[in-house]
Structures are given as C-alpha cells and as structure tokens.
Amino acid sequence: MISMPDSARTACKDGAFSKITIVPRDVAVMARAGEVILDAIRRYGYTYRFGCRRGGCGRCKVRLLRGSVEETGAIAETALNEAERSSGLILSCRSLPTTEVWIGLLDDDHLESLTPLLAPVMAKQDRLEKAWVPTTPERREDRGS
Amino acid sequence: MAVMRLGYVHVRVTDLEAARRHYVDILGMYPIAEEEGRLYLKAWDEYDHHSVVLEAGGVGLVKLGYKCERPEDLEAYEERAHRFGVTTVRMSKGENLAVGEGLRVTLPSEHEIELYADIDYRGTATGAINPDPYPRELHGIGVPRIDHALVTCENPAEVERFFSECLDFRTSERVITDPADPELLGCWMFCGNTPHDIAFIKGPNAKLHHFAYLMEDWTSILKAGDRFSMEDVPISTGPTRHGITRGTTIYFFDPAGNRNEVFAGGYQTFADFPTITWTADELAKGIFYISRELDQNFTSVLT
C-alpha cells in the first residue's frame, strides 16, 4: 500500500489543492498546498524552461490566462517588470495558485514529459480528475497539438 | 607591481534576510559588519576584513574588488587605464567600509572593478601562530575563501586586452570559434598561480554569470552538494568537472537568483604558462567535461 504524505491527505480532504492546466496541450497537474506552479509541474514528471528558481533570472516566465496566483518570495525587477506583469506574465517559480489556473508557455518554450510514469501516479495521489496521461513518448516538435 | 587576487565581490540581493541565511547559515561565511541595506561577510580562511558584500535591492553584480600588492601600483594602473581609454575614478579611503584608497575602473564591458592595496586586517579563523588546519567550529558548509568571478561581455577580446595591457593578467585558457578564423568567445585569466582570477564569456555587458568559492577537494564538493539538497538550494549544474581549468564544481543559486560556485582543483600557472585553446565545437567538453553536454541554463541564466 502506497502511503500518502500527510499534507496530501489533508489537502485532498479539504480540497485545498489547485488544478493547473497548461494550454493548449491541456496537460493538467495539481499544485499541493504551498507548492509553486513550477514545482507542481515538475513533480508530475514534466519540464519546461526554467533557471534559478529564485525569481532572479526570469527564465520560468509563463502567461497566466485564467485564475489567480499569489507571489511568494522576492522577484527582481529585471526578471519580471511592470509591463510584463500588466500583460499577464508571471514567474512560475514564484507563483502559488490561489484558484484553479490556466497557464500558457511562451511561444519559444515547450512542455516535455521527462518521466511519463509520474503523471498518473501523482494524479492518483492528488485526486486529479481526468488527468491527461501521455501514452506515447513526447516529440520535441509536438508543442501545440 | 602586481594585482594579487579577487579581494571582494559586491552583489545585489532582492531579500537581504534570505541572502543572510544562504551565505551565513548554509555557506558558512561570517558576518563582519552591517550597514543600512549592506552586509559584509568574510570566509574562515581569509584574512582581510571582508570578501562578499550583500547589497539589498535587485540582483546582479555591483562591483569586483581586486587587491594589489602596493599602493604605488595604483598610480601606474591609473595611467595605463587612461591610455587604454576606460573611465577611472579615484576612491578615497573609507568610501568602502574598511578599504583604503583605490581606483574604480569601468571595464569596456560596463562592469565595475576596484583596485586597492589596503583593507583592514582581521586574520583567518585559525590565526597565524601555531595554527590548526581548519577551525573546530565550522558552520554550514564552511567555505574557506572566494576564488574568482565569471562575467559576460559583448567583446571578450577587448576585455582580455584590458586585463592584459593594463593589469598584467595572463590568459590561461581561451574558447575560440574556429582556428581558421578565430573569434574569441571566452577567456580565463590569472594574476596569481591559479587557473583564473577573472573570466568572461560572450554575452550581454554588465552581467554576472557566477562568483566562486575555493574548496579543498572533490569530497568537499560532494559534501557541499549534500548540504545544498538538505537546505533546498537550487542547483544549476554538477557535481562535475570542467574541462576548462580542470576544476571540479557545483553551480548553485543564492536566494536572489545570483549563481554561486564551489570549485576545487585546477592546476598551477606561472608567467610562462602555455595558453590552452578550446574550439567552439568542443565547448560542451570544456564546460562540462564528464557529460559533454550543455544544459539549458549555462549560457542563459545571468543576473
């Protein structure tokens, strides 16, 4: 029997997890309590462009399409400026979902499944309904379909 | 007349308290002095007042301080810098806490370096009389000393010419595009006996790639890596070995996103050291010798 971490059990019961959907692929993951978007996506075995994970370099920038996030930790102005914020960009390493969120990667970024076995395991643990499960190895060109 | 070593690094940090936890609690530097929005730190095997200064607000490099052997050296460097064509400003004693008179130079790459000869003496943690090899009470990783910095610049050849012509640095290693038509992509230069005291690679001006601490050996690098994991410090790359400098390494990030390095090994350099050349087609081997693969953030994460 696989034991779930305490935080996961409690959160499932309270429904305090936040679903993150990455469009247009409609890959969905669940962020656990206190988990930033970047960490949740990586826990599901996926990866995309990121850098320092500390809000200083701006590499993990994504577009927040719907929903809201809370900024956690310091962000350098050079990493994300006012104009970028106004246009809906966020640093995924510093963003805690406060509602269900939909995000889009930037045009020259792409989502890759590093470890396909993780997505269904995490989806089950996090009680994620209708998780998109990769059945074929990801191709680098396969961004939008 | 000689520049001896990288004496201090001033970096900007978005959150001074978070940076204190990283540099003091995790890396094991000692807080020596504190001013409004500035924290002065020293490592256990350093004898000068401070080597790292954290400045609250933003990210990236404020300036690098290179210590010279004698105050008389500064005038000669000032003259050479003027002939080269860069801007210099004289620093008065005390403008930097605990530092004597000096010369502030704006490099062709827009980075600021300061040349100085005098700084308050503190002594190493082990002292200079019948010393132990290391202090009994090391905290955190217990980094012994700072070693070098790597910055980016639009014109590496011009920066190399500055350090060579004005400050008598010598080149240990270069990365060029193609031997048939060589353009300089990266340059590692020394003023002491180590592989490098400064290095620069092609990229935007004024940016910091990393500054490094010198560790004892490969085991210290691994142990540092273990501590980084325990403390949730994000890793950039490693543990691995560099082809360039032969040094073993882990690159990691401070809480503001500035890249640090723990580095061990290398080789000895002397005035007659034959410069090593790497060609761009072997860049991966030069940077990450074991995997011979470049990662997604090596050239693109800068502060």
Catalytic residue among B196, B209, B213, B289: B196
CB contact under 8 A, A73 and B15: yes
Which residue in the set B58, B255, B302 is minimally distant from A57, CB to CB? B302
B:207-236 residues touching chain A, CB 8 A cutoff: 234, 236
| Cβ atoms of B255 and B183 closer than 8 Å | no
State residue A131's pLDDT score. 52
| Cβ atoms of B69 and B133 closer than 8 Å | no
- Chain A interface includes B160 (CB < 8 A): no
State residue A57's pLDDT score. 95
Give the rounded percent of residues in chain A with a pLDDT score beyond 70: 78
Kindly indicate the confidence band of residue A132, based on its pLDDT and cuts at 50, 70 and 90.
Answer: low
Q: Could you report the per-residue pLDDT of A81-122, keeping only the tens digit for each?
A: 999 999 999 999 999 999 999 999 999 999 999 999 999 999
Report d(CA B152, CA B263) in Å as an integer. Answer: 19
- Chain A interface includes B46 (CB < 8 A): no
Active site residue B165: no
Per-residue pLDDT of chain B (303 residues; tens, 9 = 90+): 699 999 999 999 999 999 999 999 999 999 999 999 999 999 999 999 999 999 999 999 999 999 999 999 999 999 999 999 999 999 999 999 999 999 999 999 999 999 999 999 999 999 999 999 999 999 999 999 999 999 999 999 999 999 999 999 999 999 999 999 999 999 999 999 999 999 999 999 999 999 999 999 999 999 999 999 999 999 999 999 999 999 999 999 999 999 999 999 999 999 999 999 999 999 999 999 999 999 888 988 999
| Cβ atoms of B66 and B114 closer than 8 Å | yes
pTM of the model: 0.91
B:14-43 residues touching chain A, CB 8 A cutoff: 14-15, 18
SS (H, E, C) chain B: CCEEEEEEEEEEECCHHHHHHHHHHHCCCEEEEEECCEEEEECCCCCECCCEEEEECCCEEEEEEEEECCHHHHHHHHHHHHHHCCCEEEECCCCCCCECCEEEEECCCCCEEEEECCECECCCCCCCCCCCCCCCCCCCCCCCEEEEEEEEECCHHHHHHHHHHHHCCEEEEEEECCCCCCCEEEEEEECCCCCCCEEEEECCCCEEEEEEEECCCHHHHHHHHHHHHHCCCCEEEEEEECCCCCCEEEEEECCCCCEEEEEECCCCCCCCCCCEEEEHHHHHHHHCCCCCCCCCCCCCCCC
Kindly indicate the confidence band of residue A2, based on its pLDDT and cuts at 50, 70 and 90.
Answer: very low
Q: Give the H/E segment covering residue A10.
A: helix A6-14
Catalytic residue among B8, B23, B116, B251: B251
**A137 has a pLDDT exceeding 70:** no
Q: Could you report the per-residue pLDDT of A32-80, keeping only the tens digit for each?
A: 999 999 999 999 999 999 999 999 999 999 999 999 999 999 999 999 9
Kindly indicate the confidence band of residue A128, based on its pLDDT and cuts at 50, 70 and 90.
Answer: confident
State residue B1's pLDDT score. 64
B:233-252 residues touching chain A, CB 8 A cutoff: 234, 236
Catalytic residue among B66, B209, B210, B289: B210
Active site residue B251: yes
**A4 has a pLDDT exceeding 60:** no
State residue A14's pLDDT score. 43
Active site residue B49: no
**A144 has a pLDDT exceeding 50:** no
CB contact under 8 A, A56 and B14: yes
ipTM of the complex, rounded to two decimals? 0.87
Report d(CA B22, CA A37) in Å as an integer. Answer: 23
State residue B297's pLDDT score. 87
A141: distance to nearest CA of chain B, Å? Answer: 17
DSSP annotation of A2 reads P
Q: How many CB pairs under 8 A join A and B?
A: 65
Which residue in the set A49, A54, A59 is minimally distant from B256, CB to CB? A54
B:48-77 residues touching chain A, CB 8 A cutoff: 58-60
Average pLDDT, chain A: 83
Report d(CA A51, CA A31) in Å as an integer. Answer: 20
CB contact under 8 A, B256 and A73: no
How long is chain A? 145
How is residue B276 written in tokens? 């090593």
Active site residue B289: no
State residue A16's pLDDT score. 61
State residue A35's pLDDT score. 95
CB contact under 8 A, B14 and A57: no
